[in-house]
Amino acid sequence: MAASDSRSGARMIGEMQLEMARMRAAKVASGPALFGRVVSCDGGLIEVAGFPLPVGSLGSIENDAGAECLAEVIGFRAGHSLMMLLGDAMLLRPQAAVRALGGPGEVRLGEALLGRAVDGLGAPIDGGPRLVLPHTRSLVGRRENALERASVKQPFDCGVRAINAVATMGIGQRLGIMAGSGVGKSVLVDTIAGHAVADVTVVALIGERAREVSDFVNRHMSGARRGRLIVVAVPADHAPNLRLRAAQYATAIAEFFREMGKNVLLILDSLTRVAHAARELALVLGEPGAARGYPPSALAAITRLVERAGNSLTSGGAVTGIYTVLADGDDAQDPVVDTARAILDGHIMLSRELAQRGHYPAIDVPSSLSRVMDDLVSPEVSEAARQLRALISAREENRDLVLMGAYRSGADPVLDTALALSPAIDAFLSQSRGAAEPLGQSLAGLCELMARADA
């Protein structure tokens, strides 16, 4: 009993010391406090008078219960600031006081984030102590000159054999994983997060189910990789501006470690939920919908977010971005899918048909590509990958003929080879959930498989 009390007391003292260190590091504003007053509330949109702060600033609004609600400035009209709550509008009243918080458009960062799970405001959600974050950075990042970005020259090992071999990634590349709902995006992302080779891994779970967030944290925050992992999570039931802010915050964290020369993997699941959040904000502000209801600013938001990843010529660090994209109704021409495919350095298409056959990962190899692969692997590997694509394409295009018995052997040599190697191809492209295969073994296995095709 005495030993237990002693451990409990030591833990309390440790937490108090961390809190005192955080208070000492905090910057105290020297100017007068800025206050405003709520003049109208329409759903989550609040109009505030006497609060002349720039877009992106945070404010605290006192409600009738004496508690405080956080809100963010998203625009202004006729001299009034337009704010959106980061929570619910419960017990909010007219003329409620609004107090400015923090630096406009800034977020706090630090190495203490390693091994922690936080929300879109940087507050811990894992039950751990408060974070001491001494550094500040812009939430939206700094737009770099195009020539400040180094080329993608080194291969990146994501741990998934099919991607390593057929759509080889590079350090600093931006890759999209695109599919409809329930095809395996989250499971594939889970495998990459657990086995990819990187100094720091930042995972942003935006607009996902709360259960998935909890399961992900429980799986990945208990092993040896915990000290290199940061999770930023905002479930689907939170305000749209908080979801958008979480994606920007995760990207700012990745940029912070890139400035330190680290090789950072940024996984954002999903880019579509970010676009949905940006669409909600734009429609609230009165912007008309254009492409299938998406205002132009919503699609521009994901472009700005993706462009922040990449290699840094100054620091030598890199942010390798993996972005999942939900194709609504399995529509490959969805505006978000089309925009992401145009701006990313490659894409992995998942097939519902393959998923229904029990093939995991359900990667549609002929439809997937990496735009930097030829610069990362030898000509022999590139040729082997091209041959494998051709064999798979021939097999799938003639699948119905073969199943009906209408194909006669010898009519098409490429199809004959594809059918002969079909079991070996499926075995090579399949991978057990949670398992991983290094990049070198993946490329060697590809060359060995295609050597059998030439024999």
Residue pair 37/49 in contact by the 8 Å Cβ criterion: yes
Tell me: the pLDDT tens digits for 390-403? 999 999 999 888 88
Q: How confident is the model at residue 32 (pLDDT cuts 50, 70, 90)?
A: low
Q: How confident is the model at residue 18 (pLDDT cuts 50, 70, 90)?
A: low
The pLDDT of residue 157 is above 90: yes
pLDDT of residue 344: 93
Three-class SS state of 185: helix
Tell me: the pLDDT tens digits for 115-126? 999 999 899 998
Query: Of 198, 245, 209, 211, nearest to 85 (Cα)?
Result: 245
Percentage above 70 pLDDT, the chain: 92
Which residue segments constitute the domains of the chain, with CATH numbers given? 35-104 (2.40.30.20), 107-374 (3.40.50.12240), 381-454 (1.20.1270.330)
What lies within 8 Å, CB to CB, of 380 at 6+ separation is: 447
Whole-number Å distance between alpha carbons of 357 and 355: 5
| 340-355 average pLDDT score | 92
| 257-275 average pLDDT score | 94
pLDDT of residue 7: 66
pLDDT of residue 375: 92
Residue pair 82/76 in contact by the 8 Å Cβ criterion: yes
The pLDDT of residue 165 is above 90: yes
| 380-399 average pLDDT score | 93
The pLDDT of residue 110 is above 90: yes
pLDDT of residue 377: 94
Three-class SS state of 374: helix
Three-class SS state of 314: coil
| 187-193 average pLDDT score | 91
Q: How confident is the model at residue 172 (pLDDT cuts 50, 70, 90)?
A: very high
Give the number of C-alpha atoms closer than 13 A to the C-alpha of residue 21, restricted to the C-beta side: 13
Q: How confident is the model at residue 8 (pLDDT cuts 50, 70, 90)?
A: low
pLDDT of residue 421: 93
pTM greater than the 0.75 cutoff: yes
pLDDT of residue 455: 65
Write the burial class of residue 117 (CB in 10 Å: 0-12 exposed, 13-18 middle, 19+ buried). Answer: buried
Residue pair 154/362 in contact by the 8 Å Cβ criterion: no
Q: How confident is the model at residue 6 (pLDDT cuts 50, 70, 90)?
A: low
pLDDT of residue 250: 96
The pLDDT of residue 184 is above 70: yes
Average pLDDT, the chain: 87
Q: How confident is the model at residue 436 (pLDDT cuts 50, 70, 90)?
A: confident
Q: Give DSSP secondary structure letters for 292-322.
A: TTB-HHHHHHHHHHHHT-EE-TTT--EEEEE
Q: Indicate the helix (H) or strand (E) that contains 93.
A: none
Tell me: the pLDDT tens digits for 130-149? 898 999 998 888 877 777 78
| 273-286 average pLDDT score | 89
Residue bearing the bigger pLDDT, 411 or 32 = 411
| 227-247 average pLDDT score | 91
pLDDT of residue 285: 83
pLDDT of residue 343: 92
